[in-house]
Chains A and B, each alone.
Chain A
Amino acid sequence: MNNLIGMILIVVGLIFDFFGCLGLVRLPDVYNRLQAATKCVTLGTFSIMLGTFVISGFTAVGIKALLCGIFLLIAAPTAAHALSRGAYKAGVKLWEGSVVDKYGEDRAKK
């Protein structure tokens, strides 16, 4: 039973990881791509880790997988935040279809 639940979690994780990668290819600019990368890949990978934990239970592998998953949930959005801020400061433009840029307006005012 645990095996089945674990496998389902891993497959769901792989599907979301795939959507994340597809988003990386299809979406137009750095910021939109980061959106796809953080959301889908974070939950997808977390789901794979959780599946590993469910299959192996409270063993050396299972506990480490769970810890990795929790750290990933904290670290991935922080990394995305740092990347997008860095990209903006380095002068990467928004996609031309973007409707509003309050950040640029406020930076121009300073």
Chain B
Amino acid sequence: MRSKIVLFILAYILWALLNWVPDWQHLLVGVFVSVFVVYLTAGLFPTRFKYLFDIKRYLWALYFIPVFLYECIRANFDVAYRVIHPDLPIKPGIVKIKTGLKSDIALTFLANSITLTPGTMTVDIDRSNGILYIHWINVRDTDIEGATKLIAGKFERILKGIFE
């Protein structure tokens, strides 16, 4: 029940933002729409809402945003450089990395962060063994430990702080 209330509040905020500027008609319709959305999707979302009020996780999230943005912008310059360079300096391949993260949402964020950081893109996840397959545009280390350190090293610790 509590998870449904939290989901309702989130859906309602999203509705209010989508119908900016708020007036009472939109807000009234939003109540019905949000109840309907919660009714449809309640089963799809995680239920560990006790973590929602854990301040430490929000601090980790605040730390995650600048690290992520920096890597994301660096990734763009990296790709732009490779594309413009007349010789096309790429050395692609698919490597394996190991991760200690277990929960669905942490793995999702790790995979998405890896995709948006320089030269790497998640191809597949093997959840039972904690292995991610990464397409790397410029392979620097084919070894599993070395690749893990180079690709996931920065994010894993932060995501552990946020989600686990």
Contact = CB atoms under 8 A, between A and B. Distances in A.
Nearest to B90: A32
A101 B94 contact: yes
A23 B135 CA distance: 16
Interface of A: 16, 19-20, 22-23, 26-29, 31-32, 34-36, 38-40, 42-44, 58-60, 63-64, 67, 73-74, 77-78, 80-81, 84-85, 88, 94-95, 97-104, 106
13 contacts: A19-B80, A19-B83, A19-B84, A35-B137, A40-B80, A42-B116, A43-B75, A43-B116, A58-B20, A63-B20, A67-B18, A98-B94, A101-B93
Contact of B92 (A64, A95, A103): A95
Contacts of B137: 32, 35
Contacts of B103: none
A51 B18 CA distance: 18
A14 to B, nearest CB: 13
Chain B interface size band reads 35 or more
A44 B17 CA distance: 23
Chain A interface, DSSP helix/strand/loop, else mixed: helix
B20 A39 contact: no
B20 A36 contact: no
A100 B103 CA distance: 29
A29 B88 CA distance: 13
B59 interface: no
A99 B92 contact: yes
B92 A94 contact: yes
